[in-house]
């Protein structure tokens, strides 16, 4: 009876919500009804501006929708019908090149062309109110979703991933417009040409058919999201579901981030050291708002992970080649091979570490100076990081610590792990985050949550100066000092072994408004920086010792040469009657020898005589 009552109550609660609470994919996901009172809106951006060295990441958004053949895409925006505002759909594979700076081919559909078709409603493709945004698209024919906007429509000719791009009224250009930041879209400027290259409200919804009102969620994603709030003091609270290429899904909540104009994305490495390959695990600094040049010659990793607006569907993950069930990492056979023999090396000679991994991923290895402190940032320790492959891996060590000084004579302990599902969320020129966002939650751990502070919400950051692989110190005179900027986090770094609970405000920085000077150190802490936040799913810790000596030990003493052993003369045994001899100083054998020889001679003569007789 209680079970039936519970089911009935659940049904009644679900039925009590209006259709507008059934979310699809679009701005109604990012800025839903019931958002926090201080929440603001970020307009979708598509412009020619960029972030990072060599225009690494464009300030724009390309959406992707997986559809089975015959399924329909229903679309609309606050910019359609205003000057060059439009929506384009592309064939699978029509967008090529590096993620973040793609080459875009010709579209196979655009909303403006459909709007010009005779007999269709003038309002096609237009979202003109907050209520229409929340309601989503109406059906075709109309009436299946009362209150919804009249959509532009595209039906997939075959299974595939179809790119979608929204243009603001300014079309393709650098006109950033003047977004209002208003979630409720109360001002008319949210729907006119002042949107510039941005779009205030937008929607792209997958349905089984045009006349079917049921939204199919988890089909739409983007690799990077370019937006603008139009000013500081406008905090955004979107929730995204970032999926690593090895199948780990992180619910990412911006939690009041205040970045003004921004691009958000996820990648395996975040920022890169001076070799262009090794994960930096630090922030990056610049003197330009778009981070076109980074201090110390460090770099940025490209966007690599799809970000969904709802929990991704398996069919979408399959189309992307992402495993449904992530594999937990395991490290085995960890050892050190020294420059002399075994695990022994000379001072400054280093050696080679070897281990076996069951997955592709990243590793972190720390040589502790005292056997107790394994913090990778300790200057007298040594941290080594890099990529792993499935199977046997080798790591070369030069014998030096983090400051470039040779480890002295002694025996040292080494620990390492490998990391699957590593996820970095770089905050590019995000001036303020007074609530400490973003927050992470791993939604599909393979077994228990990782052993971090915060468990599945554990994450890491390090807002201190550092030495690059090239030897340059970035952010201060010496490593491990707090970076400049107004109102920094009260704690300069998380515990780099156990992390921190990302749902707390430990990493809060900046002010409630302002701070955007576009000059290093004079604005809010996040201004003209790239702030990294990362997490991962670790293997168990593997350990091995190594030994450093001053000189090559002398070889062990050689074994003495073999000595010739004289032949042993086999002599007859004493007769039973001979038991002892007088103590004359002569051995019993010496005394008995003449008699024995005589007897032997007689025996030989007797045998010879017997043989002659037989003849």
Q: Are residues 238 and 364 in the same domain?
A: no
Q: Are residues 380 and 440 in the same domain?
A: no
Whether 139 is in a domain gets the answer yes
* Measured distance CA(91)–CA(179) in Å, rounded: 31
* Measured distance CA(174)–CA(306) in Å, rounded: 25
* Measured distance CA(220)–CA(313) in Å, rounded: 10
Q: How many domains does the chain have?
A: 3
Q: Are residues 340 and 283 in the same domain?
A: no
Whether 409 is in a domain gets the answer yes
* Structural domain boundaries enclosing 470: 271-302+427-531
How many whole angstroms from its chain centre is CA 214? Answer: 34
Q: Are residues 34 and 74 in the same domain?
A: yes
110 has a pLDDT exceeding 90? yes
Q: Which of 478, 498, 531 is the last residue of a domain?
A: 531
* Measured distance CA(207)–CA(71) in Å, rounded: 6
In this predicted structure, what is the pLDDT of residue 173? 85
Whether 11 is in a domain gets the answer no
Q: What is the CATH number of the domain that holds 383?
A: 2.60.40.1930
The 3-state secondary structure of 121-181, one letter per residue: CCCCCECCCHHHHHHCECCCCCCCCCCCECCEEEECCCCEEEEEEEECCCCCCCCCCCCCC
- Residue pair 508/497 in contact by the 8 Å Cβ criterion: no
Average pLDDT over residues 410-421: 98
Average pLDDT over residues 479-497: 98
Bridge partner residues of 221 (DSSP): 64, 308
Phi, psi (rounded to 5 degrees) for 108: -100, -5
> 417 falls in which pLDDT band (50, 70, 90)?
very high
pTM for the model: 0.87
Q: Are residues 338 and 407 in the same domain?
A: yes
Give per-residue pLDDT as tens, 12-47.
333 333 333 445 689 999 999 999 999 999 999 999
Give per-residue pLDDT as tens, 127-165.
999 999 999 999 999 999 999 999 999 999 999 999 999
Q: Are residues 344 and 390 in the same domain?
A: yes
Q: Are residues 362 and 279 in the same domain?
A: no
In this predicted structure, what is the pLDDT of residue 91? 98
Q: Are residues 397 and 467 in the same domain?
A: no
If you write DSSP's letter for every residue of 78-132 in order, what string do you get? SSTTSTT-EEEE--TT-EESSTTS-EE---SEEHHHHHTSTTS-TTTTB--SHHH
In this predicted structure, what is the pLDDT of residue 597? 37
Whether 219 is in a domain gets the answer yes
* Measured distance CA(190)–CA(498) in Å, rounded: 45
> 563 falls in which pLDDT band (50, 70, 90)?
low
Give per-residue pLDDT as tens, 565-606.
555 544 444 344 433 333 334 443 344 444 443 434 444 444
In this predicted structure, what is the pLDDT of residue 564? 55
Q: Are residues 187 and 289 in the same domain?
A: no
Q: Are residues 319 and 459 in the same domain?
A: no
Q: Are residues 239 and 152 in the same domain?
A: yes
Whether 13 is in a domain gets the answer no
Average pLDDT over residues 242-269: 97
Q: Are residues 492 and 346 in the same domain?
A: no
In this predicted structure, what is the pLDDT of residue 585? 41
Give per-residue pLDDT as tens, 333-371.
999 999 999 999 999 999 999 999 999 999 999 999 999
Whether 258 is in a domain gets the answer yes
Give per-residue pLDDT as tens, 278-288.
999 999 999 98
- Residue pair 65/219 in contact by the 8 Å Cβ criterion: yes
* Measured distance CA(83)–CA(47) in Å, rounded: 16
Whether 399 is in a domain gets the answer yes
* Measured distance CA(77)–CA(133) in Å, rounded: 9
Whether 567 is in a domain gets the answer no
To the nearest whole percent, how much of the chain has pLDDT over 90?
84
Neighbours of 60 (CB within 10 A): 25
When comparing pLDDT for 429 and 580, which is higher? 429
């Amino acid at each position: 009876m209680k079970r039936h009552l519970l089911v009935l109550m659940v049904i009644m609660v679900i039925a009590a919500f209006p259709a507008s609470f059934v979310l699809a994919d679009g701005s109604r996901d990012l800025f839903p009804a019931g958002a926090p009172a201080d929440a603001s809106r970020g307009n979708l951006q598509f412009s020619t501006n960029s972030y990072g060295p060599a225009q690494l990441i464009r300030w724009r958004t390309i959406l992707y929708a997986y559809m089975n053949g015959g399924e329909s895409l229903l679309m609309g925006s606050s910019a359609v019908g205003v000057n060059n505002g439009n929506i384009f759909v592309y064939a699978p594979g029509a967008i090529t090149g590096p993620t973040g700076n793609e080459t875009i081919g010709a579209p196979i559909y655009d909303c403006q062309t459909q709007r010009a078709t005779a007999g269709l409603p003038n309002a096609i493709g237009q979202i003109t109110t907050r209520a229409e945004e929340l309601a989503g698209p109406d059906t075709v024919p109309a009436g299946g979703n009362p209150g919804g906007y009249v959509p532009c429509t595209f039906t997939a000719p075959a299974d595939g991933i179809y790119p979608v791009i929204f243009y603001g009224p300014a079309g393709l250009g650098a006109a950033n417009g003047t977004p209002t930041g208003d979630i409720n879209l109360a001002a008319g400027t949210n729907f006119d040409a002042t949107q510039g290259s941005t779009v205030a409200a937008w929607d792209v919804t997958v349905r089984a058919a045009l006349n079917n009102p049921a939204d199919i969620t988890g089909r739409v994603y983007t690799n990077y999201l370019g937006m603008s709030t139009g000013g500081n003091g406008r905090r955004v609270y979107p929730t995204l579901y970032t999926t690593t290429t090895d199948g780990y899904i992180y619910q990412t909540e911006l939690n009041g981030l205040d970045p003004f104009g921004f691009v958000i994305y996820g990648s395996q490495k975040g920022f890169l050291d001076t070799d262009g390959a090794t994960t930096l695990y630090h922030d990056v600094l610049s003197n330009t708002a778009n981070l076109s040049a980074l201090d110390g010659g460090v770099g940025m990793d490209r966007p690599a992970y799809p970000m969904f607006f709802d929990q991704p569907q398996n069919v979408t993950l399959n189309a992307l080649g992402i495993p449904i069930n992530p594999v937990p990492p395991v490290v085995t056979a960890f050892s050190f091979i020294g420059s002399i023999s075994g695990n022994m090396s000379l001072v400054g000679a280093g050696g080679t570490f070897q281990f076996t991994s069951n997955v592709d991923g990243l590793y972190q290895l720390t040589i502790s100076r005292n056997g107790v402190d394994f913090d990778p940032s300790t200057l007298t320790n040594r941290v080594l990081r890099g990529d792993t492959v499935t199977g046997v891996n080798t790591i070369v060590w030069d014998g030096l610590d983090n400051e470039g000084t040779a480890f002295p004579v002694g025996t040292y302990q080494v620990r390492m792990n490998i990391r699957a599902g590593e996820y970095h969320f770089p905050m590019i020129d995000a001036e303020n985050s007074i609530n400490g966002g973003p927050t992470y939650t791993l939604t599909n751990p393979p077994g228990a949550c990782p052993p971090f502070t915060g468990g599945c919400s554990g994450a890491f950051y390090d807002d201190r100066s550092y030495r690059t692989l090239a030897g340059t110190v970035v952010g201060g005179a010496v490593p491990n000092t707090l970076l400049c900027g107004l109102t920094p986090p009260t704690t300069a770094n998380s515990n780099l072994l156990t992390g921190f609970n990302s749902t707390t405000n430990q990493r809060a920085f900046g002010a409630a408004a302002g701070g955007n000077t576009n000059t290093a150190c004079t604005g809010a802490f996040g201004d003209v920086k790239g702030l990294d936040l990362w997490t991962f799913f670790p293997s168990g810790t593997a350990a091995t010792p190594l030994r450093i000596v001053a000189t090559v030990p002398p070889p062990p003493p050689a074994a003495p040469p073999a000595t010739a052993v004289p032949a042993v003369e086999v002599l007859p045994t004493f007769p039973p009657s001979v038991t002892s001899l007088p103590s004359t100083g002569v051995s019993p054998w010496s005394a008995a020898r003449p008699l024995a020889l005589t007897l032997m001679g007689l025996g030989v003569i007797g045998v010879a005589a017997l043989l002659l007789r037989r003849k």
